[in-house]
Amino acid sequence: MTKKQINTSSVFKSWHNCQLADPSQEKAFCASRIDADIKLSRFGYLVAIVLYSAFYFVILPIIATDSYAAFATIYYIIVISSILSAAFTFSEHYRPHAKLFALAQAIIITSGVFAIMLILPTIAPIIDLDNSILGTVIVFRDITQARNTSAQLDWQAKHDHLTGLINRREFENQLDIHLANAKKNQQPHCMMYLDLDQFKIVNDTCGHAAGDDLLRQISVLLQDDLRQGDILARIGGDEFCILLPLCPIEKGLIIANTLRQGILDHRFVHENKPYVLSASIGLIEINGHEKNHAEILSAADSACYVAKSNGRNRVHVHNFQDSNEINPQEEMQWFTRLQSALEDDQFVLYAQQIAAISGDKTPHYEVLVRMLDKDGSIIPPNNFIPAAERFNLMQRIDRWVLTNVCEFIASLQKSNKTLPIISVNLSGTSIGDEQFLQIVLNLFDQYKTPCQNICFEITETAAISSIHEALRFMKEMKKRNCLFSLDDFGSGLSSFAYLKDMPVDYLKIDGHFIKNITHDAVDKAFVQSIHQIARVMKIQTVAEFVENDNILNVLKDIGIDYAQGYGISKPHPLKDLNVK
């Protein structure tokens, strides 16, 4: 007798797609018919339908309170229906070329005793040489673990492990789907690119565990304020993307501001210390004209960057005609131009006076870097500094500035002229790099620079974001008698908490509190409080954005030490500085 081979093959739908019939009773029945080499006869179908219907509508309600009985009943119903269906099929419709018949249906069983089980019953005929059915073989397989493992791997591939939100790859897939929908149905969608403004402060000062906890809290916070059907993803670090299906830009702007305000109102508490955060959001409308998800993400990212550049804690709506937004092609052009400018010495230093409001004090100037265009015209820092920061070129620019300042002071020494105090701005990347610290020390030794005439200006945000590195840099420079000025003081959210630990000599009060001080009582009170605390700590105060005499008179009444702004002196080339 020639032995015939029996094949087994079946295709199953994911049990994730099955909807539980009655979750409240902890029982669900889900079945999907699988294509087989020979289809069931009509009568076989009828028998199966009758059996399943009887079970679902008659037997299941009766045994709903008995988990074991429910399990046993499902088990035997499947066995009976499989045998009857196979018998009718093979007696009437068996074809010699068919090597297999298998009725395979995945059954989900949910109960308090058995938890979740996924059982796969299959039935195959036993056939002799005359093509007669001698019997059947029924196999029941528990595929729960296999399906759970497959589902877990699929979930991990699409989700962020920290927050449980979908990841960048899955979000890009969703973007492609909705972009196609926008093109087909001409229905607009919106997308937000959200970046936390003070996350690095929490992460650096409280530790990575606290930072992770904060990200989880923000994820829940955002989900609570979104509509049903909106898609939230964490795409990396402290960056989130939100897709708003079927949402015009006006509605999207309202939702974006709701999210922004929700984050601002949230208080993250670590070791009984509250932290206030904010978010910058770039918003873009998806109308079907975009090429792909990459273009959408790039535009939203650029809009988010503009929101940060404009002061953080705000929403910026993307506009292709907006000159403040930098597209990837323009960014690469700036990168090339900056590289060339550094190699060809195409930067120039300007100086702006920091004037003493009262008394005769050492002349003080802040140096400001400008870039030279090919035609010799001046490119202001707002045009190239953002690109330099994004391409990690700020440290090279800081080194160029400090080198030229040391050369300038050395030239004044040779001429026996009065040496002013020169303020030099340093980026956060520079103060956080130990190699840069050594570069500074080497420059001072090379040019024999009198360090008491060098004042390093560090923005409050940069100092707080890299607090440990900033303190190390400041302590090393203090050994050389360098001065320090904390720039844009008041712009951060934890100013006074960190001020006690920083060996600063000057506080430069953020210009936003100065420009309206003549008619805004809150701004005036804020400036007064900063000055009073600085006075107790023996720190001198500098007011930025002093544009007219009215502002200057108010500052003089408060007791501010120095003033800087176009109302005092406009920037002019450092080489033209008239020092006696």
Distance CA 236, CA 362 (A): 48
Strands 421-426 and 454-459, sheet pairing: parallel
Distance CA 532, CA 523 (A): 14
Q: Residue written as tokens 């600085």?
A: 534
- The phi, psi pair for 479, rounded to 5°, reads -65, -25
Q: Where would I find the beta strands (DSSP E) of 310-441? A: 315-317, 347-353, 355-356, 364-372, 378-379, 421-426
Q: Is the domain covering 160-325 a CATH 1.10.1200.10 domain?
A: no
Q: Residue written as tokens 């990347």?
A: 429
pLDDT of amino acid 12:
30
pLDDT of amino acid 47:
56
For 329-576, give the CATH class: alpha beta
Q: Would you give the DSSP letter of residue 453?
A: G
Taking only the tens place, the pLDDT of each residue in 226-238 is: 999 999 999 988 9
Q: What SS3 class is residue 576?
A: helix
Q: How many CA atoms lie within 13 A of 53 on its CB side?
A: 6
pLDDT of amino acid 266:
92
pLDDT of amino acid 22:
39
In total, the chain counts a number of residues equal to 580
pLDDT of amino acid 74:
54
pLDDT of amino acid 214:
94
Taking only the tens place, the pLDDT of each residue in 99-156 is: 333 444 445 544 444 455 677 777 777 888 888 878 878 777 777 787 778 878 888 8
In 10 A of CB 376, how many CB atoms? 8
Distance CA 113, CA 67 (A): 7
Q: pTM surpassing 0.85?
A: no
pLDDT of amino acid 492:
55
Distance CA 303, CA 284 (A): 8
pLDDT of amino acid 529:
92
Distance CA 379, CA 372 (A): 6
For the chain, the domains span 17-152, 160-325, 329-576
CA distances, 510 to each of 460, 527, 561 (Å): 10, 9, 15
Is-same-fold flag (160-325; 329-576)? no
Residue-by-residue pLDDT tens, the chain, 580 positions? 333 333 333 323 333 333 333 333 333 333 333 333 333 344 444 555 565 555 555 555 555 444 445 555 555 555 555 545 544 444 444 443 333 334 444 455 444 444 556 777 777 778 888 888 788 787 777 777 877 788 788 888 889 989 999 999 899 999 999 988 888 888 889 999 999 987 877 877 788 889 999 999 999 999 999 999 999 999 988 999 999 999 999 999 999 999 999 999 999 988 888 888 899 999 999 888 777 888 888 889 888 988 887 778 999 998 765 555 555 566 678 888 999 999 999 999 999 999 999 877 889 999 999 999 988 899 988 888 878 887 889 999 999 999 999 999 999 999 888 899 999 999 988 988 888 999 999 999 999 999 999 999 998 777 776 678 888 999 999 999 999 999 988 765 445 667 888 899 999 998 889 999 999 999 999 999 999 999 999 999 999 999 999 999 999 999 999 999 999 999 999 999 887 6
CA angle 333, 338, 342 (to 5 degrees): 155
